[in-house]
A and B are shown apart, each in its own frame.
Chain A
Amino acid sequence: MFEAGLVAATSAVQNGCARVLGGVKVRWYRPLLMAISVAVGLSGCGDAGPVNKEAFAKPTITVYSSRKEHLVKPLFEQFTAETGMPVRYVTDKAGPLMARLQAEGETTPADMLMTVDAGNLWQASQMGLLQTVNSETLNSHVPVHLRSATGDWYALSVRARTIVYSTERVKPADLSTYEALADSDWQGRLCLRTSKKVYNQSLVATMIQSLGEEKTEQVVRGWVANLATAPFSNDTSTMEAIVAGQCDVSIVNTYYYGRLKKAKADIPLALFWPNQEDRGVHVNISGAGITRHAKQPAAAQQLLEWLSGPQAQRQLAELNQEYPANPLIKVSEEVAAWGEFKADTVNVEAAGSLQASAVKLMDRADFR
């Protein structure tokens, strides 16, 4: 009986909003069927929203996004307003979305995968989920070190992971590099976020790329030895610990600092740009690529190009206080106030190919 209900429900999805209740005589499972068909009916007819004729003729672009609705929705709405092409999306973590893309194979409805962290994009490319895009526009908008060598994916924004310090207890002159935080001067003065967060994994992966595995492990062991307390689950907590005096320095993504500063302008914290004499500040990206089995590759490419263009770049960077991937676009005023810095130009793909090594290294160093 239950199966019958499901069959009825699925056929209702297929045939639009067919009435499935007619002819059901047995009383007790009627509420059950009702529940299903209400649910199915809603999904079929409820949320389509206003569809005008023009939009109907244009292809709908489908995006799987690990960037959250409040960041992407304003952009997609703007794109739809300009081009008439509707964009629908579903948000989740990068891992499950990639597993879904892979499982769906040729039948996937997704045209574009959008996510944070170069490691994730590199992995999507390795799994064969993305297709090569050759676009003059994209190549001119996105610098070489912020896109995949094969054109599988392109960065849309850049985030810096840098040193934050207490303005009350630390002089900027005491700071120099990420590696120097492993010196014994910082014994009991360092706070870190957990190594389970991909941002730290990417930081260590690019250090492996530049310094080699042995040297990097020494540095990470030094960090762990200097920890004032067990690693925190998020960047904001580490900064609050500095304010409370539990420790003096940490490594955070700049937009978390920006958010805290926005909420409380006089907070005694400041950013420091390390490694300016050598490779530069570690940066990571958020980005997107066209899926291998996209149903609307041309339209999706148009969206990707639009996202790398001036208007979207400005908006994307401002919404989350990030840096635009497109070098021609100026950063927002708040972000500009943090000062300019030299960024590490190692290709961010290293974050992907060395991520597993980085995780293992941090496990060995007992960085939790």
Chain B
Amino acid sequence: MKLTLRQQWLWQLPVGLMVGLVLLPVSVILLSWGDAQTEVWAHLIETQLGRLLQNTVLLVMGVGLGVTLLGVSLAWLTAVCDFPGRRWLEWSLMLPLAVPTYVVAFVALGLFSYSGPLGNQWRSWFGAEAWFPDVRHSLGVVLVMTLVLYPYVYMLARSAFLAQGRELMDASRLLGHGPWDSFLRVALPMARPAIAAGVALALMETLADFGAVAVLNFDTFTTAIYKSWFGFFNLGAAAQLASLLLLFVGLALLVEQRARGSARFHQHPRQERESYRLRGWRAWLATGYCGAVVGLAFVIPVVQLVIWVADSGVQDLNPRFGRLIGHTFTLGGSAAVLTVVLALLVAYAQRLNGRHQLSGAERLAGMGYALPGSVLAVAIMLAFAFLDRELINPLRQSLGLAQTQLLVGSLAALVLAYIIRFFSVAFGPVHSGLERIRPSFQEAALTLGATQSRVLRQVYLPLLTPGLLTALLLVLVDVMKEMPATLLLRPFGWDTLAVRVYEMTSEGEWQRAALPALTLVLLSIPPVIVMIRRSRLD
């Protein structure tokens, strides 16, 4: 269909706005090259860059493989098969998303370290000199990250499988393919955009993670960034290292896009479907597998948190704690709504233009997620401070108003920072949801005289509900867990649960951090349940 020139221009606005927002911190980071920190670079290349790159590549490949295997297999089982406990497992498999990475890392360290209960038991069985695996090696780090990050793939792949309907699988079975063959040749290729979006999210988070690698003292590229900043007091070198990270992410996204090619995936609207009922040992194997993942990634860390809370008491549970919860929800909610609205507008505009591949602009808009949180936070802060200094204050001066800081330390700046960071989290599910809707619906509606915004409201929104809910939930939970930007940009008094978690853990008071961390986890459970329920009922 053809849009008028004015319409085309209007629909480019959200994309332009998003790109503008992301360009603020990205340009701060790129501009750091104006003053190349050769001394720090020479030192890093000489001493550790090789090892850091090797570690980082290992981590990315390991986690990529891990989350794909875990996420897709779990999604397939819960979406298509039926087995004892499935109704519980399908939503509890989402719960690890709510557990902060550092908690899982810390629990893994506590359990599997030499001084932990398993280590002690091991030595009592096999003697003091017996070999014992150290979780702080690359494999341990990969396992920890995989357990925390697989829900991204699980969630997106699951809604893709649910949307496929059963006819195609039935057709494939009728044509003589077995269940495995049908899965590999029909269901999996059709779910590829969703799986790719999930893996991309997980990998970007892996690259940016500092919590788990810090607890396990595993050196990655991110570690070098922080070392340059806090050890050498060289923010410029840190930003230059971060720009390399951006380059990696850009390349990876490009490769993913090439690999996907021009394949198009449209499906029939959802239909009532029956599940394949697993029987006998197969059924119990499925239950055991899903249960084990929930146990390792969620139950054990939460039990550990509960034990810590019991140990340290609830001394911190006072009216101030209630306010922390209020702040956490207000920030998470408003950022989630705004981010998802923007993501929807951007994804829809792209579709209106009739393109199926993401343009550079849309890819750029998602870059915020791949940067280490603190680096992004400080880049956003620098950009806002620049605007305050060079734009807003001269303007206020000319109007005769007093000099002040309007952006830095304001709530609007903090919410903007969340949008910049989490846009791609929302864009993934919204975009892959949109890709599954056939263009003929829109064409029919337009032929019948509906306007673009009416098509969006009355045709797309209802069909997109699962994707939008997924996006909302992901951003909500991510914002509630977010630390660095919240710390640096929050207005006075606007402490959140994550801020409290940071304050306790940075002093090594893991036990007192358990109460806010556990509250964070509990707060995330209701939205998870709501979302999973809705995605089934539609």
**Residues on A close to B: CB < 8 A?**
2-3, 6, 9-10, 13-14, 28-29, 31-32, 35-36, 38-40, 42-43, 47, 62, 68-71, 88-97, 99-100, 103-109, 123, 194, 196, 198, 201, 229-237, 240-241, 243-246, 256, 259, 355-356, 359-360, 363-364, 368
* B-chain residues with CB within 8 Å of residue A71 when the two chains form the complex: 507
A-B contact pairs, 16 of them (CB 8 A): A9-B411, A10-B412, A39-B331, A42-B330, A62-B492, A89-B492, A91-B499, A94-B230, A100-B378, A105-B389, A241-B114, A244-B114, A244-B120, A256-B508, A355-B231, A363-B47
A29 to B345, CA, bound (A): 12
Within 8 A of A (CB), among B293-342: 323, 326, 330-331, 333-334, 337-338, 341-342
* B-chain residues with CB within 8 Å of residue A96 when the two chains form the complex: 374, 377-378, 381, 484, 487-488
Q: Are B115 and A243 in contact (CB under 8 A)?
A: yes
Q: Are B231 and A201 in contact (CB under 8 A)?
A: yes
Within 8 A of A (CB), among B405-455: 405-406, 408-412, 415-416
Q: Are B217 and A194 in contact (CB under 8 A)?
A: yes
A103 to B389, CA, bound (A): 9
A91 to B214, CA, bound (A): 20
Dominant SS among interface residues on chain A: helix
Is B494's beta carbon under 8 Å from chain A? yes
Q: Are A99 and B382 in contact (CB under 8 A)?
A: yes
Q: A107 with B115: in contact, given A32-B341, A38-B334 (CB under 8 Å)?
A: no
Q: Are A69 and B507 in contact (CB under 8 A)?
A: no
Q: Are B408 and A123 in contact (CB under 8 A)?
A: no
Within 8 A of A (CB), among B181-219: 214-217, 219
> How many whole Å from A45's CB to the nearest CB in chain B?
12
Residue of A whose beta carbon sits closest to that of B410: A13
* A-chain residues with CB within 8 Å of residue B275 when the two chains form the complex: none
Q: Are A35 and B334 in contact (CB under 8 A)?
A: yes
The listed residue with most A CB atoms (<10 A of its CB), out of B234, B338, B393, is B338
* B-chain residues with CB within 8 Å of residue A31 when the two chains form the complex: 337
Q: Are B412 and A13 in contact (CB under 8 A)?
A: yes
A198 to B340, CA, bound (A): 40
Q: Are B457 and A234 in contact (CB under 8 A)?
A: no
> How many whole Å from B357's CB to the nearest CB in chain A?
25
Is B362's beta carbon under 8 Å from chain A? no
Is B143's beta carbon under 8 Å from chain A? no
* B-chain residues with CB within 8 Å of residue A245 when the two chains form the complex: 128
Q: A35 with B381: in contact, given A100-B488, A107-B388, A237-B113 (CB under 8 Å)?
A: no
A107 to B401, CA, bound (A): 14
Q: Are A93 and B506 in contact (CB under 8 A)?
A: yes
Q: A104 with B408: in contact, given A36-B334, A43-B494, A234-B508 (CB under 8 Å)?
A: yes
Is B136's beta carbon under 8 Å from chain A? yes
Interface stretch among B70-78, B88-96, B221-229, B280-288? B221-229
Cβ contacts B477-514/A at 8 Å (1 or 0 each): 00000001001101111110001100110111100100
> How many whole Å from B293's CB to the nearest CB in chain A?
26
Q: A69 with B374: in contact, given A109-B405, A201-B231, A359-B227 (CB under 8 Å)?
A: no
